Structure 1
Amino acid sequence: MVTKYRTAEAVTPGHPDKLCDLISDMVLDDMLAHDPHAHVAAETCAAGDTVMVFGEINSHDGHKPNVGSIVRHAFRTVGYTDPSYGATADGVRVIDGMRAQSAEIDAAVGDADGAGDQGVMVGHATGATETMLPPETELARQLAARLWEARANGIGWLRPDGKTQVTLQVDGGRTALDSILISTQHDPGMTPAAIRGCVSMYIVDPVLAAHPELDAADWRLDVNPSGSFVLGGPEGDAGLTGRKIVVDQYGPSIPVGGGAFSGKDPSKVDRSAAYMARHIAVSLVHARLCHEATVRLAYGIGIAEPTDVSVDTHGTGIADDAILSAAVRDVFDLTPRGIIDALDLRRPIYADTALHGHFGRPELPWERPSDPGILRSAVEARL
């Protein structure tokens, strides 16, 4: 049996790209709070003490968000308040480049009858984990979440920026931990040994203890392998909305359609159809129609129905993938309006996804499976 390696990474909310995602989604939430039918495409870039928010908005009441206030709130939320960190909530310089949405795009989309753009979206679910995320992705995210919580819970020398990476060995039915990499921003004066000891005890050990099914007999831990990591966030690296699309989804083992999520209202199928594709995949696995599912949806701008609906069960389905694909079309309304209504997407819920993740969280509507009986009946009708 050939051993395969599967690797995934995650980042904390203080990572500069994630900070930009958060700002863009805070702009979106602000617009949706005033007008649930608002159209928003908000992009953010951050470098040093300067943040620029730009893009297009349109609402029935003409509301324009207070971008400066939103940016400062985002900086406070992720912890950039100490002047020794560099850019801070009180010192950041904000450039507001938001403008009205193109009349052509507004006309094409209407009230979400047609897709807001062309694109291919992918959803995935696996029965291998409780979250239905790939194991390496789940572990990387749990480590990043634990790192973030540790800072909030009293490990004061931890700073907001951080990344995790997990590599697993997969050999037939056996999954073994190969390595964990954690890079965390820290206060000056911390020794590598102190950082490693604390990360091992308070971050890594509790996460691994929650996964007794994982073979962790022989693996490697790397903590800040590049050395000192005092300067981070936008002071250390420029950030940009939409640069963490693989982190936001399922890791590199699963295809990514290409579109980012943050800053986009639900008429943009980049976001809403990706959520629906995940919902379908979760529903297929929950209904025990397969153990693993990858769902692909494709759209054209201004066109309501998807041009492609494909299910790949990776050989685990109880019926042919073509039958499952047809059953999905039978059961789910895959028009932009149908997706928005089914998942209740016209609400200010998106900043939370930038902070804590888009998938694997049962409180999110697209993570709740549909009625398994209806889906099974649709499959049986196609046999």
Structure 2
Amino acid sequence: MRDKGEFLFTSESVSEGHPDKVADRISDTVLDAFLAADPYARVACETLVTTNRVVLAGETRGPSTVTHEYLAHLARLAIKDIGYEQAGFDWRTAEIAVHLHAQSADIAVGVDSAGNKDEGAGDQGIMFGYACRETPTLMPAPLYYAHELLRTIRDRRAAGDAGVKGLLPDAKSQVTLRYIDGKPVGATSVVISTQHEEELDQPQIKRLLLPLIESVLPAGWTPDERDIYINPTGKFVIGGPDGDCGLTGRKIIVDTYGGAAPHGGGAFSGKDPTKVDRSAAYVARYLAKNVVAAGLAERCTLQLSYAIGVSHPLSLYVDLHGNPYEVSEAKLERTLRELVNLTPRGIREHLHLNRAIYVPTSAYGHFGREPNAEHGTFTWEKTDLVPALKSAFGR
């Protein structure tokens, strides 16, 4: 994203009832079931959802008590919790097939520790972390508000708010913001497409959502009503997996930074912490957020790379985007390596990732969330490195 001039930037979000997010939720439900039974279980679960059908596939290694029948039961409960009791997708009647099998021995030998060999990365790849000063959570503003719109609708639906009566689980949002010299100053358009009951017409839906949009955006940011698009097709009754097939891992930009930062290409949901697609992306966000929170940068992009079976990262790269505070990026890279052990084992121990904490990550983004000490969730959002970073750079 540019630092100078005037431009528009757009990000989107999707609700927990979006077909791809239903798949992510089920995959993370499977992961949490295994980690609850054994913190060192191995899971790579992919889910497909379509009209009254759910298919789970992938590789696992864990206790035999986590049976296919039990996982099918948990998948059904996840669908119920999202709110699907529709003719084309119903938690009570959907056919659920589980095709999980043992993890490849060739992968396991590279990942497992043995003798003097530490745990290796579960795959090769590049992962990015990002943070900026645009919002209180140090996330890009377009994605932040796109998430907030849908999260607000979800919270009101869950509370039984009559103001959103008739709205159903599947929804998408899109927010375009105007930037001047790198700072957001207002929204130029907002899109919300939400599934709804047949008897709810479009004028009614607009009357429900226009005040909600104004309540979520900062004062003075709401665009003219002609630039607010609510259910642009005019009707959205058939939704969720009945309206569109869903797959795990298809919303990687929604899950991360809304396109404001690079993405290495790896998805998160359904993967245990030995998979650096997930754990290294989490620690990259953790490091970038702490750099910005320590006052060392207005924006920070951080890249890590790994090779399968190799414990230490092959590279760590930091970009401070113009670097107005004149911080040595080379020194910062060295300092971050000293502060956190960036091996797969080091990451999972530092961020306490070998726990059943992943279902809450499956909707509304993996980043920019409030860390919860009681439940141990979103530990990668903590800013506990700030004192050490300030000390290292004389702040």
Q: For the Cα contact (< 8 Å) 1:331–1:378, is it kept in 2? A: no
Q: Which residue of 2 aligns with 1:256?
A: 263
SS in 2 for 1:190: coil
Displacement of 1:186: 0.2
Q: For the Cα contact (< 8 Å) 2:134–2:184, is it kept in 1? A: no
Q: Distance in 2 between matches of 1:378 and 1:62?
A: 48
Q: For the Cα contact (< 8 Å) 1:330–1:378, is it kept in 2? A: no
TM-score computed with the length of structure 2 as normaliser: 0.91
SS in 2 for 1:136: helix
Q: Which residue of 1 aligns with 2:133?
A: 127
Q: Distance in 2 between matches of 1:327 and 1:342?
A: 16
Q: Distance in 2 between matches of 1:217 and 1:33?
A: 46
- The AA in structure 1 aligned to 2:76 is R
Q: Which one of the candidate residues 304, 328, 332 is aligned to 2:311?
A: 304
User: Is 1:368 paired with 2:371?
Assistant: no
Moved more, 106-115 or 223-232: 106-115
Q: What does the per-residue CA deviation read over 1:150-197, in whole Å, with 9 as the maximum and x for residues that have no partner? A: 222333301110000000111224522110000000000222111111
Q: Which residue of 1 aligns with 2:199?
A: 189
Distance 1:62 1:174, change over 3 A: closer
Query: Any gaps of 5 or more consecutive residues in structure 1?
Result: none
- The AA in structure 1 aligned to 2:39 is P
User: Is 1:344 paired with 2:352?
Assistant: yes
Displacement of 1:81: 2.0
Q: Distance in 2 between matches of 1:299 and 1:49?
A: 39
Distance 1:252 1:174, change over 3 A: closer
Q: Which one of the candidate residues 334, 343, 347 is aligned to 1:326?
A: 334
Q: Which one of the candidate residues 69, 91, 94 is aligned to 1:92?
A: 94
User: Is 1:169 paired with 2:178?
Assistant: yes
Q: Which residue of 1 aligns with 2:375?
A: none
Moved more, 306-315 or 231-240: 306-315
User: Is 1:104 paired with 2:102?
Assistant: no
Q: Which residue of 2 aligns with 1:79?
A: 83
Q: Which one of the candidate residues 146, 149, 154 is aligned to 1:148?
A: 154
Displacement of 1:356: 4.2
**Residue correspondence of structure 1 range 219-234 to structure 2 within 5 A:** 220-234=227-241
Q: Which residue of 1 aligns with 2:296?
A: 289
Query: Any gaps of 5 or more consecutive residues in structure 2?
Result: 372-377
Q: Distance in 2 between matches of 1:119 and 1:237?
A: 30
SS in 1 for 2:326: coil
Q: Distance in 1 between matches of 2:25 and 2:221?
A: 36
Moved more, 166-175 or 87-96: 166-175
- The AA in structure 1 aligned to 2:82 is V
Q: Which residue of 1 aligns with 2:362?
A: 354
Q: Which one of the candidate residues 16, 21, 24 is aligned to 2:19?
A: 16
- Which aligned runs of 4 or more in structure 1 are off by greater than 4 angstroms? none
- The AA in structure 1 aligned to 2:275 is K
Q: For the Cα contact (< 8 Å) 2:8–2:176, is it kept in 1? A: yes
- The AA in structure 2 aligned to 1:98 is L
Task: Please report the RMSD computed on the Cα atoms of aligned residues, expressed in angstroms.
Answer: 1.8
Displacement of 1:147: 1.7
**Residue correspondence of structure 1 range 198-209 to structure 2 within 5 A:** 198-201=208-211, 203-208=212-217
Q: Which one of the candidate residues 67, 70, 74 is aligned to 1:70?
A: 74
TM-score computed with the length of structure 1 as normaliser: 0.94
Distance 1:48 1:61, change over 3 A: closer
Q: For the Cα contact (< 8 Å) 1:35–1:61, is it kept in 2? A: no
Q: For the Cα contact (< 8 Å) 2:213–2:222, is it kept in 1? A: no
Displacement of 1:64: 3.4
Identical residues among aligned pairs (%): 41
- The AA in structure 2 aligned to 1:102 is S
Q: For the Cα contact (< 8 Å) 2:131–2:289, is it kept in 1? A: yes
Distance 1:199 1:238, change over 3 A: same
Q: Which one of the candidate residues 48, 53, 62 is aligned to 1:45?
A: 48
